[in-house]
A and B are shown apart, each in its own frame.
Chain A
Amino acid sequence: MLARVALRVVILNRKVALRMLNSITDVREILATQQYIASDEICTAMFLADKLGKPLLAEGPAGVGKTELAKSWALANGRELIRLQCYEGLDETKALYEWEYAKQLLYTQLLREKLSDLLGDSRTLREAADRLANEEDVFFSERFLLPRPLLRAITSDQPVVLLIDEIDRADAEFEAFLLEVLSDFQVSVPELGTLKAKHQPTVLLTSNNTRELSEALKRRCLYIHIDYPDLEAELRVIQLKVPGLSPKLARQAIEYVQRLRKMDLKKHPSVSETIDWARALLELNSRQIDKSTLDTTLNVLLKYESDIQRAKRALQGGERGDRPERPERGDRPDRPRNRYPGGEWNN
């Protein structure tokens, strides 16, 4: 049974992969198959990235689904996802390739006899060295190259999706190093020459905007800014990901989250945290969002004690966020204050 299901999934994926992307709606549809709800901006950007073969740089606050986009895209197109997580101090040997010394060493050990055969009848040292030099290629071939994510994405036989996650964490030098890869989809290995991509990978870069990226990098990419979704969009996401939650409670929860995002907090709740919270509410069989529910579950949503305190106060005091609004006066319509009432003089 399970096997059959798995098979069907594979076939489904193949079908999806074979379909040509002709319009933005196609993009939306194939992302929807992976339960990813994409806005117009995202669809357009993915469509263009696919059509123009350019990398796409997605910026935005943490947890709005930038990484998820890459995953869904890979799954929806039936491609392998190769992920490069950036961090401070990341360098070429970890991102691109490394020589596999151990294997080289092992091979020289095992091939010692063969080597002595080869070199045995040479008379001078120079001749032996020359002969050895002729065979040098064996030891510096792709056989001994340990591919890291970037090289893997470039040399792969199948088209892949390359995700370069949180590029803003890597050093500026690494960013410069990426430029060659991103503009020409090729890398230079001094001992081997230039390796060109067999299939151009779809490249997605994400950034949490902790530092400004260089102009050169931005110029080579298409750009999209993913922000927190609005109420309706987030509601759709929750209904899709946590189907068991009652619509009323879901709406209440999202309204609360949206209100939190307007407040002055150290860290705003992300979409993924909203999903976690919705799951928690479902598990706890909550009926409505009241003080006791918040007491037990708010730590899923907020990660700082001061934020939690503030959020609780906001809910209980009926205080609307941190912005006290002017009391509305129903007795007369709003009229301009402190202004000359007879229209503007300057026109």
Chain B
Amino acid sequence: MDRRITEFIAALRAAGIRVSLAETADAMRAIEQAGITDRRLFELVMQTSLIKDAKDFTTFRELFPLYFGKEAPPPLQQPGGGQLSEQEHEQLMEHLAQMLAQMSPEQLAQLFRSMMTGQPLSAQEMGQLMDGIAPPHVSNPRYRDWMTRQALRELNFNQLNKALRELLDALRDEGMSEEALQAIEQAARENQAALAEQIGQQVAQQMAEQARGDGQAIPRQRSESELLDRPFDQLNERDADDMRKIVNRLAARLRTRLALRQRRGKTGTLDAKTTIRTNQRFGGVPMVVRHRKRHLKPKLVVLCDRSVSTERVMTFMLLMVYSLHDQLSRTRSFAFIDRLHDMSRYFNEARPETAIAQVMDEIRPTRSYSTDLGYALSEFVRDHLSCVDQRTTVILLGDGRNNENDPGLAAFAQICRRARRVVWFATEEQRKWGVYDPGSLSSDIYKYAPMCDAMLEVTNLRQLADAIDRLFVRA
């Protein structure tokens, strides 16, 4: 049983769930306490001690039946359900022996004997049986039934029907009563189904083992620094997952740094009022000195160019900004293509990752789109200017390629006047700034540049992390 559980845990790990050694030990202790007699209880116990994230429950529930499904092979029936007289039984056995002697191949004879006599196949016999046929070539548990059917076909399982008919005919010729024949047939049919089920379980197990093999083969971790320096536009889908992990790690690291900075930032000027109040209990002797807290938590307004070229960098930036939301006092985010879209509501309702997926899905460029930052800026000034105040940092993410539209410099200047800082995250390498590009024509980035407090090149994850970190430094 222990072995089975460890195998199950290995499968969980292969499916991407983090299960530590300590948790394995916990699960074992928990099972000791709760016992394994009740299957439902057993499942709950394993779930409580192994799974620490609600989103992993589905994986757990998919895998669990594969390992602890119907552990014991289904019981087999006695020939004729035990209703046969001695004589009838002997007749049956005699004929069976004759038929088995002629039957080929040997596996089929084995199955037939087990089916008629009700003696289950031992694990070893079963193993040999399965070795004789090709292993399943798919490891996805969804195809279990299909692979089982294939295995049965390969074993010529249907031949058993024919053999059973022949046997019954022979017995009928001997003059056995119809009732006895019926009893024999029914028991044999049930046994046949049970054997099929058992073979199905074997197949499922083989598939699970293969899946585990596959799962171990995949993790081919690329080094973190390599991914950090890889330009966003050279990332493919497979990297995206790794990147997301790195983003989460980076965010955690940034958070600790920010928290430290905030703590040290406390030593501002003396707060006389609070100091007197806290020292009342010492008779007014200032034992504990209180300082005025600085409001270090910045407010952010993020404007993102949501076009195909900036999709990736936008995803990562939003992911990072929103995983730091506890370090920010307020974040509003907008996406623009040719018009402005408010993204904040997605983030208010869902976790960052889901929200980003929603944003990508619902705000998408139309077929004949052309980025128009100027118009988006004027819309922002018209509708949302109130969310910019002297504590707000405005981030603009984009390449500044405006398709010859009006750059909206007046609106931009108005935003700059109100905001504490305006930082531009440029998604192109610096050498391409302002250079004519046949695809999207001229670049207006240098027209905006003089008004921004900083222009940062953000073409890979490392630069992005640095840029976000700099937002929190007090200028």
Asked if B94 is an interface residue, CB under 8 A from chain A, the answer is: no
B257 to chain A: closest CB distance in Å?
11
29 CB contacts below 8 A, A to B, read A24-B34, A24-B41, A40-B41, A41-B47, A44-B44, A44-B45, A44-B48, A48-B30, A51-B30, A52-B26, A52-B33, A88-B326, A101-B281, A101-B282, A102-B281, A102-B282, A105-B283, A171-B259, A171-B326, A173-B256, A212-B248, A215-B18, A219-B22, A219-B52, A222-B48, A222-B49, A224-B48, A225-B54, A266-B349
Contact residues in B for A36 (Cβ distance below 8 Å): none
Asked if A347 is an interface residue, CB under 8 A from chain B, the answer is: yes
A199 to chain B: closest CB distance in Å?
19
Q: Is the interface of B mostly helix, strand, loop or mixed?
A: helix
A189 to chain B: closest CB distance in Å?
19
By a beta-carbon cutoff of 8 Å, the part of chain B in contact with chain A is: 18, 20, 22-23, 26, 29-30, 33-34, 40-41, 44-45, 47-49, 51-54, 57, 143, 146, 248, 252, 255-256, 259, 281-283, 287, 326, 348-349
Contact residues in B for A218 (Cβ distance below 8 Å): 52-53
Knowing A172-B259, A211-B326, A225-B57 are in contact, say whether A40-B44 is a contact too (CB < 8 A). yes
Q: Do A52 and B29 touch (CB < 8 A)?
A: yes
How many A-B residue contacts, CB cutoff 8 Å?
76
Asked if A47 is an interface residue, CB under 8 A from chain B, the answer is: yes
Q: Do B326 and A219 touch (CB < 8 A)?
A: no
Of B33, B51, B282, the contact of A105 (CB 8 Å cutoff)? B282
* Total count of chain A residues near the partner, CB < 8 A: 33
Q: Do B41 and A44 touch (CB < 8 A)?
A: yes
Q: Do B22 and A48 touch (CB < 8 A)?
A: no
Asked if A223 is an interface residue, CB under 8 A from chain B, the answer is: yes
Given A101-B287, A173-B256, A220-B22, 4 more A-B residue pairs with CB atoms under 8 Å apart are A41-B47, A44-B44, A51-B34, A215-B18
6 shortest interchain CB distances as A-B pairs:
A218-B52, A44-B44, A51-B33, A225-B54, A223-B52, A102-B281
Contact pattern, A 28-58, Cβ under 8 Å of B = 1, otherwise 0: 0000000000001100110110011010010
Contact residues in A for B256 (Cβ distance below 8 Å): 172-173
Contact residues in A for B349 (Cβ distance below 8 Å): 266
Knowing A101-B282, A219-B20, A222-B49 are in contact, say whether A40-B34 is a contact too (CB < 8 A). no
Q: Do B287 and A52 touch (CB < 8 A)?
A: no
Asked if A166 is an interface residue, CB under 8 A from chain B, the answer is: no
Contact residues in B for A347 (Cβ distance below 8 Å): 143, 146
Contact residues in A for B40 (Cβ distance below 8 Å): 40
Contact residues in B for A234 (Cβ distance below 8 Å): none
Q: Do A173 and B20 touch (CB < 8 A)?
A: no
Cα–Cα distance between A254 and B66 once the two chains are bound (Å): 37
Of A40, A48, A59, A209, the contact of B49 (CB 8 Å cutoff)? A48
Cα–Cα distance between A110 and B349 once the two chains are bound (Å): 59
Asked if A221 is an interface residue, CB under 8 A from chain B, the answer is: yes
Knowing A101-B287, A172-B256, A218-B53 are in contact, say whether A52-B44 is a contact too (CB < 8 A). no
A192 to chain B: closest CB distance in Å?
21
Cα–Cα distance between A54 and B52 once the two chains are bound (Å): 14
Of the candidates B53, B255, B283, the one having the most CB atoms from chain A within 10 angstroms of its own CB is B53
Contact residues in B for A54 (Cβ distance below 8 Å): 26
> Which residue of the partner chain A has the closest CB to B21?
A219
